Structure 1
Amino acid sequence: MAQVPPAPTDGAAPGQVASAELTDPGVEDIVVTAQRREERLQDVPVAITAFTGSQLTRLGIDGSKQLTQVVPGLNFTQSVFSPQPTIRGIGTRGTSAGEESAVPIYIDGVYQSFIPAADLQFNNVDRIEVLKGPQGALFGRNSTGGAISIVTRQPTVEPTGALSLSYGRFDEVIAKGYGAAGSGNVAGDIAFVAHRDDGYIRDVVSGARYAKLDDFAVRSKIVAKVTENLELRFAVGHVENNDSTGEAYRPLDGNTIARRVPGTIYGAAPYTAALSIDPYNTLRQTSVSGTAILTLAGATITSVTGWQTNHLEIAADSDASSASIATLTYPQYSRNVYHETYVATRGGGPLSLIGGFVYFHDVSGQNPFVILSRPVSTAGVIGALSTSTFVPRMTADSYAGYLQGTYKVTRALSLTLGGRYTNETKQAAIDVQINAGPVNAIANRANFQKFTPSAILQFRPNERLNLYAKYGEGFKSGVFNSASASQAALQAVKPENVKQYEAGIKADPLPWLRIDIAGYYTDYRNLQSNARDPVTLATILQNAGSARIYGGEAELSIRPTRRLNLRAGMSALHGTYRDFPNAVVTIPTTTADPAVATTCVAGTGTPIGGNRSAVCDVGGRNIIRTPFVTADAGIDYSVPVGRGEVGFVGNLYYSGRSYWDTLNRLREAPYVLANGEISFRPGPSSLRIAIWGENLLDETYSLTTVSSATADTQVLARPRTFGIRLSYGR
């Protein structure tokens, strides 16, 4: 859990406007650790978007999914229960046990491997750094798209605290709290967030509400300055997350196999459903981490160790109708240990080095994964029940070493070379039972090794201009399909390999003006893609041959006074599959389909509901879950009123068209999101009252869309919401 505090006060004396607001405008500097050193954001020769905790609060960014609206190139989508971030068109497509994200999240340096836990609510964030492009040298084997680094607040000896309470539409209640104190060389803190609402999707048959939230998360950190040179940090956190939104399906355009059955009801209007079971999605996570930082005369040694256990339970109605045709249930778990030790040199010489070692061990599985399905004839006759049971257990052991060095050729020119070598072994053991037949125990093992180099050439003619060119490679490990039904099918998909070329400009032409521009070209090979088995409905994994992605991003920040912040961003990319001849896709079933089920030709008859599987060559089609154009703009402005102030925040986000499937049959239309807030601080204290609104234009767009033989299912994102918030402290 990483969470954001209420906005701090401006420090002005009662009834006064801080003089710096008029005499010291300028874009706020942020110190980042993207290269494992503390550096100004504008000094780092890589594409990064970073925000402080107070900036996120002012922007109204409450969770990881909302980062999409303020980070060009980042798109946070969802595949049923699994949040799936993509950066520059690269992201994870699978959801099986043992799967890991191509855009990993780190919290205080600890790798977060469990994808379903990526939907974070913020409350005690110090800053968030979104690193774009493959990060194979410093941030791991799986960061082919990029990485998201969340740094939580450091507790202070001086007592400090904050509380906030929000109430909104759908009886949404959000409570957040933070407190810190200490004595001598030891300080500790505790942060919590509680979030619940009554849901925004209505079952048209039972009247039940779906997409309900009931979440609680708590995190505590202790920091001890043992000696002048040694600092120890210990953190513990726990999350209880109940959110059935991803399972509150309706059939997209009425395409469900249940439509063949007379009398079947399904959700047709937006924000409706008709399900044969009550869906649920419950996540429990406990994490413990420890960090030691030893500062020597010429180097800093940092050691980070994290332990985490995750447990997820899910039930979903795959046909999205009142008929009992296809459901799935499973508990998924993950237990892992992460350790990293690295050394960063310090000093005034021309050469600086960073080197480290990483170990990761994970045991994941599902116990059991059960799929219940009944065939439905074209005449609407429901057949006998079939039960498919999978009990997979996946183990991963990964070792890696990395080294990166920067040499200042001249005062303005520097060259950085780095690389990481990864050696990873994965094992899979699966017990499979179809109906009441015998249990088939299958197993396999695979080893993956990869060296991922990077190179950066940086030119800084002055402090206000940073020009750079970068080459980087990324490696996403191979993975086994946790729903394989035979030994022959239990083969790990190949690792993904990414090569990206990037050039960028970071400019501060004026103290109050900042412009960052980056362009890139990506060669993406062995993409790991998922589809649905037409018989068992289980997810199957496959490799696409290659894809080509190129594009650019731009960010603009303007701060003419301390009370006015303007920002804008844009991303444009072109991404297509270059070589994907055997993609498993779905095509709507009609009354006149081709004779061969796998023929990649649309039927000529009337659609009757449901899909058939086909193997198609999707070369030249657009990559999935990636808008080709996104743009965002925001304003943050405050006005002194008596002894207090009134604040105005507004954000706009535009998402261009995108596709949910490799055949590009399921299209997401462009949409615009508008969010805003008006707040009032009545006096010099940190008490603040705010009225907020999200999706003010009431746009209708997908949170997730998934296709299978049973149905095209869709869950719409939340409609217009609004509410009031009271906060105190900082």
Structure 2
Amino acid sequence: MKRLLLVATTALSASLSIAPLNAQTTDSAAPATSAEETSGGIEDIVVTAQRRSESLQNVPIAVSAFTADQLRNQGVSNTLELGRFVPNLVSMNNTGIGTANAFYLRGLGNTETIPTFDPPVGTYVDDIYLSRQNANNINLFDVERVEVLRGPQGTLFGRNTTGGAVNVILKEPGNEFGGFAELGYGRFDKKVARGSVDIPLADTFAIKVSGYWQNDDGYVKNVTTGQRLNDDDGWGARLGIRGELSPSIRWNGSYAHIIANGENILNFQCNPADPTDCKGRFATTGIPSGKSSEDSPFSTLPITGRKKNFLLGNYTTTDLVTSNFEFDVADHTTVSLITGYVSQDQTYALDFYDGRSGPSLANPIPPVRGYERGGFAILTDGQHEQFSQEVKVNGRLADGLIDYVAGAFYLVENNRTDFADTFTLSPTTTLVLADRLLRNKTEALAGYAQVDVNVTEQLKLTAGIRYTDETKTLDVHDNRASCNDGTLEATCLDTSNLVGPSGLAVPDKLKAKLWTPRFAVNYKVTDDVLLFTSATRGFKSGGWNARATAANAFLPFGPEKVWSYEAGIKSDWFDNRVRANLTFFYADVSDLQTPSALVNPNGSATFITRNFADFTNKGIEAELTVVPVDGLHLYVNAGYQDAKYKIDRDAPDFDEYGIQSVAAQQRACQALLAAGNIPGGTGTTAACGAGIVTPEGEIADPTRTPNWTVAFGGSYELELGSSGMSLVPSINASYRSSQETNAANYTIYSGGITGTNGTYPSNPYDGDIITGSFSPAAWFVNANLALNGADKKWQFSVSCTNCFNETAANTSLVNTRYIDPPMTWMARARYNF
């Protein structure tokens, strides 16, 4: 399929280059228009949040949109960094994997990359959905704009958008020859090269060739191996094609090839081997870094496949093919054929314990060991392929009374994941906890329609609906020799052995058929003031707990469903000098999917994901932009949210698979506490500080839902006399209040404690934080200073990210805290031609 699509793209490109073509400019191809060019006001961004081109201020959806210039001025070079500018958005790398982003939007997110899990914040590139978040930390080297849609988008964007969507729109080839070239150098010996060129080959046919390359040493020093870790290396190239076959037929297509090598390996502010050394970032794992070697420390273990030769690191290769044919079939009616193909390969060996055992009350700071096989390591060799086809119709009826968008969508995804978990007890003893081959497939069909009735020039009523029919299948095979000798023991992790603790067999097929409607009312008070309210349904697919290392824990979980209600205002004031957008929301989520993990008595980890509870979140989001004088741009974005779990107090003590309900678990925990037990100590880890029950026996606060997120800053373009040159300083500050980063809110604090189940050198209640879930409030500051040449033909700039070297944690795993990167700086030179 991959070769077929590439051949078809190449052949079509060649045919377009010699066909008789006619010039035509369409709304969908038009670049964003800057109101500043005509009125000196705020930029008016054209977005496609409703699957058609509209002004941002006319869209009745909570959308944060950024043009390429805004992204550059705010120091945003990849999608991960959007989390510091969008209200109620928390973004972080998945634990260990620097190429993977986990977005939490209004409290809904997912930290898993195993393909039996789907992210509830969808990532799209030119209308193509990226099913996997293995490599969704997209380098923004050739974008037109980025849109972050807050709240469920289940009607027009489909499944797996219960939290929202990140929509990346790439630049199309221009009508004139031109482009840019950029070089940069920064901290940790980081080197960057970027470039793009538009090449018109005919009046109606043009191509764009763009690419980037980056390399750095990594900001973490491994004091055991002497190597540098957490680098962000890679390169990418893209060919974009735009042509008009006739006055009524247009085509946009592209092919991108991206190589990324990025890690987010556990590291510390102070050297664990020498706690007095706090100058830098440190790791102590003994696994040597690299891609693959026959001398890998895992090569002598009973592990199958090429993964046994992996070294410490994460590597991804992505091929992305997009194609969009547009046909004007009648007045005000356009049909789009949108085709996408995504291929992602990922290989990694990651140590999640820094060469040690997991922190616990009994052993809050495990000693440095430096074992060559690390501590708790996962070796993964994955291949993921996805094909999607969409037919979309945009039109207008009854002389403008009705605007509509409708379509049909098909997606098929095939995944193959060969992965093993190891836990090292001594220099000579390493347990292979599991070695299995997972194959799973998703096939989804959907039809959708949304109709806008323009009742008057001011009043618009909207109704939409989508029907999705989805089937997921699963096959798991245990790679261990004892499971392939002609007999299949009950302990083998094989599809036929997947049975819950109750004895109920786990299904190898999951089906979902759901309707996801949307209703909205828009009222234009004036041309510059829009009031809107809406109710929207969304759902996220179910799946299996594929991180399990035992057959009776490889359990299914059901779909996550949400109703979201919004009311807001979008407004421009004072001749486009002030823009104020405000949204109130309430989200009611049923069967929330919640990943959880805990430390076993031997120091290894157990993973479980269930529909533990329902979830509600209510809040407000405000975005204010001010241009008081020409050249000065100021902004404040703020979000407030109040999220809570809701559990079923009347649920049976055990579900059909034999898993204890949250209510029963909470009662068991409270009974242990009443008897004087210390949570997290002997005999309590299954009840207290597990799932979504806190060490205190309460229902936990949802993860990554800080009450407040605030971003503010600005830029000023200072003209340097009559030279045509300008100096542009900009600064951006962001704040988030405290948050919890693991499901059970389990944090280990300094200070010994004694209970009926023992005496421990640390406690789960209060004191100085040693490690765990709680992450205090944090501020971050980015700054940039740019010198522009006449007509902005060239630019020199110096920027810093996390300028004051603040430290915070947005994620954790089995009591370990993963902290954000340190301060970095970058000097760049850019030439536009």
Aligned to 1:589: none
Report whether the alignment pairs 1:280 with 2:313.
yes
CA deviation after TM superposition for structure 1 residue 598, in Å: 12
Alignment of 1:454-603 (within 5 A): 454-484=518-548, 489-510=553-574, 511-532=576-597, 537=605, 539-579=607-647
Q: Which moved more, 1:186-195 or 1:715-724?
A: 715-724
Q: After TM superposition, give the deviation of residue 243 of structure 1 in Å.
A: 1.0
Give the secondary structure class of the aligned counterpart of 2:69: helix
Alignment of 1:684-723 (within 5 A): 684=791, 686-702=793-809, 704-707=811-814, 712-723=815-826
1:21 positional shift: 7.6
* Corresponding position of 2:161: 143
> What are structure 2's unaligned runs of at least 5 residues?
1-34, 289-311, 356-369, 497-507, 662-667, 747-772
2:788 aligned with 1:681 = yes
Aligned to 2:417: 366
CA contact (8 A) 1:387 1:435 kept: no
Shift of 1:683: 3.3
**1:327-380 deviation digits (Å, cap 9, x = unpaired):** 22111221110111111113542112211101110011312x11112458xxxx
Aligned mates of 1:350, 1:22 — CA distance in 2:
32
Separation in 2 of the partners of 1:400 and 1:688? 47
Q: CA deviation at 1:411?
A: 2.3
- Aligned-residue sequence identity (percent) comes to 26
What is the rounded CA distance, in whole Å, between the counterparts of 1:397 and 1:87 in structure 2? 26
Amino acid at match of 2:255: V
Contact 2:224/2:286 (CA < 8 Å) preserved in 1?
no
- What is the rounded CA distance, in whole Å, between the counterparts of 2:269 and 2:477 in structure 1? 32
SS in 1 for 2:135: helix
Q: Distance in 2 between matches of 1:487 and 1:206?
A: 36
TM-score, L = length of structure 2: 0.77
CA distance in 2, matches of 1:434, 1:251: 39
Residues 583-605 of structure 1 show CA distances to partners (whole Å, capped at 9, x for unaligned) of 999xxxxxxxxx99996899967
Give the corresponding residue for 2:299: none
Deviation at 1:611, TM superposition (A): 10
Change (3 A) 1:384 1:122: closer
Q: Which residue of 2 aligns with 1:425?
A: 471
| Structure 1 Cα separation of the partners of residues 320 and 284 of structure 2 | 37
For 2:741 and 2:277, the matched residues in 1 are separated by 20
**Counterparts of 1:14-413 in structure 2 under 5 Å?**
24-80=39-95, 81=97, 82-184=100-202, 185-244=204-263, 246-250=264-268, 269=278, 271-278=281-288, 279-295=312-328, 296-321=330-355, 322-323=370-371, 324-346=374-396, 348-367=399-418, 369-374=419-424, 385-413=431-459
| Partner amino acid, structure 2, of 1:652 | A
Match of 2:738 among 657, 663, 666: 657
Looking at secondary structure, tell me which structure has more strand per residue: 1
Question: What's the counterpart of residue 442 of structure 1?
Answer: 495
Q: 1:455 to 1:640 in 2, by over 3 A?
A: same
CA distance in 1, matches of 2:672, 2:407: 51
8 Å CA contact 1:557–1:565 kept in 2: the answer is yes
Write the distance in 1 (CA, Å) between the matches of 2:153 and 2:36.
Answer: 38
- How far the C-alpha of 1:22 sits from its partner, in A, is 11
Determine whether 1:728 maps to 2:831.
yes
Residue 723 of structure 1 deviates from its aligned partner by: 2.7
Deviations 1:273-315 (A, max 9, x none): 1002132010111111211011231311111111111011111
Does the residue aligned with 2:543 lie in a helix, a strand or coil?
coil
Once residues 398 and 267 of structure 1 are traced to their aligned partners in structure 2, the CA distance between those partners, rounded to angstroms, is 55
Deviation sequence 1:444-482 (CA, Å, 0-9, x none): 111111101110011112111100111011100111222
Unaligned runs of 5+ in 1: 1-19, 255-263, 586-594
What do the CA deviations read for 1:529-563 (whole angstroms, capped 9, x no partner)?
A: 11237567464321122011111100001113341
Asked whether the equivalents of residues 180 and 189 of structure 1 are also in contact (C-alpha less than 8 Å), the reply is: yes
Report how many residues are paired: 685
SS state at 1:697 partner: coil
Higher relative contact order (CA 8 A, sep 6+): 1
Please tell me the residue identity of whatever aligns with 2:248: N
**What is the alpha-carbon root mean square deviation over aligned residues?**
3.1
Q: 1:331 to 1:168 in 2, by over 3 A?
A: same
CA offset at residue 249 of structure 1? 4.0
- Partner SS, residue 34 of structure 1: coil
Amino acid at match of 2:347: E
**For residues 463 and 307 of structure 1, do their structure 2 counterparts lie closer, same or farther at Cα, with a shift above 3 Å needed?**
same
State the partner residue of 2:712.
Answer: 633
Contact 2:617 2:642 in 1 (8 A): yes
Distance (Å, rounded) in 2 between the aligned partners of 1:601 and 1:218: 62
- In the alignment, the residues of structure 2 paired with residue 528 and residue 574 of structure 1 have an alpha-carbon distance, to the nearest angstrom, of 19
Judged with a 3 Å threshold, the aligned counterparts in structure 2 of structure 1 residues 617 and 687 are, in CA distance, closer, same or farther, namely closer
